């Protein structure tokens, strides 16, 4: 039984990566520039492109709509802060939280999530985009390169963020759906850690990218598999482990945090589990919403 579980854990990142690559929709650049089809840039979202966790901000938007209480949201925020301080992100904890989140979101309509994501991005997330990181993404677009977001956040929300930023597309966690409704199961696993590297590999095969000419950006040491895969890695607002690794390997380091902002961003972000915690909150809200309207 243990060997079977271990084999499944080893294959899930690859399945998640392949699913994310297949779900990545390419959008033609708005500006007519000479395309560089072999080079691309990959940007992590939480604390790299955006201050805090995108799924947490999504949950905040649901709270303002009365879909669950602010005390519920506070509990999830405290949980994320405790998790980040302990630094004990292990597969067992992530798996339990993931299954809980999926159980709550089961039965939600994909179209509703997309619509709410668009509204909440405009209301809550737009002002939390790091200007410096966005400028980096735009510089790649100006050079004719494609730019993808890559995140553990659900693909539907990741696409909304990419579209609002005028980027090529997004790779995110893919949840199984049936007739436009979430089944409560994932395709593979969360797009986190090694799964991100698998997604980049899969997309590179599909799009004919030369990974040695590609660039990846992240704030977290959890993304070292992806950062080490490309020819150019950049640490953005890095955690201590990534900062040390970047210095050792002479990777560029850019920190757009200043003073109070640097302190505040530590609260609502915790890689895989933090995203799942926000997902649980969002799932609770959606379930309550459907109960009230059925």
- Residue 202 pLDDT exceeds 80: yes
DSSP H or E run through 30: none
Q: What is the pLDDT of residue 244?
A: 97
More confident call, 160 vs 65: 160
More confident call, 104 vs 54: 54
Active-site residue flag, 44: yes
For residues 60 and 68, give the distance between their C-alpha atoms in angstroms, rounded to a whole number.
9
3-class SS of residue 217: strand
CA torsion 164→168→173→178, rounded to 10°? 90
- Which residue in 36, 44, 111, 223 is the catalytic one? 44
Exposed e or buried b per residue across 23-44, where buried means at least 16 C-beta atoms within 10 angstroms of its C-beta: bbeeeebeeeeeeeeebbbbbb
pLDDT tens, 112-148?
Answer: 888 989 999 999 999 999 999 999 999 999 999 999 9
Exposed e or buried b per residue across 222-238, where buried means at least 16 C-beta atoms within 10 angstroms of its C-beta: bbbebbebbebbbbbbb
Active-site residue flag, 46: yes
* Average pLDDT over the chain, rounded to an integer: 78
More confident call, 132 vs 2: 132
- Residue 76 pLDDT exceeds 70: no
pLDDT tens, 252-283?
Answer: 999 999 754 444 444 444 444 444 444 555 55
Name the token pair of 56. Answer: 């947490």
């Amino acid at each position: 039984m243990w060997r079977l579980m271990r084999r499944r854990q080893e294959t899930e990142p690859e399945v998640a990566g392949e699913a994310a690559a297949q779900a990545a929709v390419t959008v033609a650049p708005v500006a007519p520039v000479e395309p560089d089809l072999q080079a691309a840039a990959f940007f992590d979202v939480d604390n790299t492109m955006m201050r805090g966790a995108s799924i947490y901000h999504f949950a905040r938007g649901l709270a303002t709509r009365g879909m669950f209480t602010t005390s519920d949201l506070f509990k999830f925020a405290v949980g994320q802060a405790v998790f980040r301080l302990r630094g004990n992100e292990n597969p067992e904890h992530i798996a339990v939280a993931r299954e809980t989140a999926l159980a709550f979101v089961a039965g939600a309509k994909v179209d509703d999530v997309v619509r709410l994501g668009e509204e909440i991005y405009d209301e809550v997330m737009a002002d939390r985009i790091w200007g410096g990181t966005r400028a980096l993404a735009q510089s790649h677009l100006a050079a004719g390169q494609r730019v993808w977001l890559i995140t553990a956040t659900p693909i539907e929300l990741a696409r909304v963020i990419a579209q609002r930023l005028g980027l090529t597309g997004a790779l995110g966690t893919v949840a199984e759906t049936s007739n436009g409704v979430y089944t409560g199961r994932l395709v593979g696993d969360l797009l986190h850690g090694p799964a991100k590297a698998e997604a980049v590999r899969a997309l590179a095969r599909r799009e004919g990218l030369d990974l040695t000419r590609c660039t990846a950006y992240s704030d977290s040491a959890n993304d070292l598999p992806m950062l080490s895969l490309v020819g150019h890695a950049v640490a953005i607002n890095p955690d201590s482990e990534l900062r040390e690794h970047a210095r050792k390997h002479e990777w560029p380091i850019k920190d757009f945090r200043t003073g109070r902002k640097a302190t505040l961003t530590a609260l609502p972000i915790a890689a895989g589990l933090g995203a799942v915690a926000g997902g649980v909150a969002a799932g609770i809200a959606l379930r309550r919403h459907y109960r009230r309207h059925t």
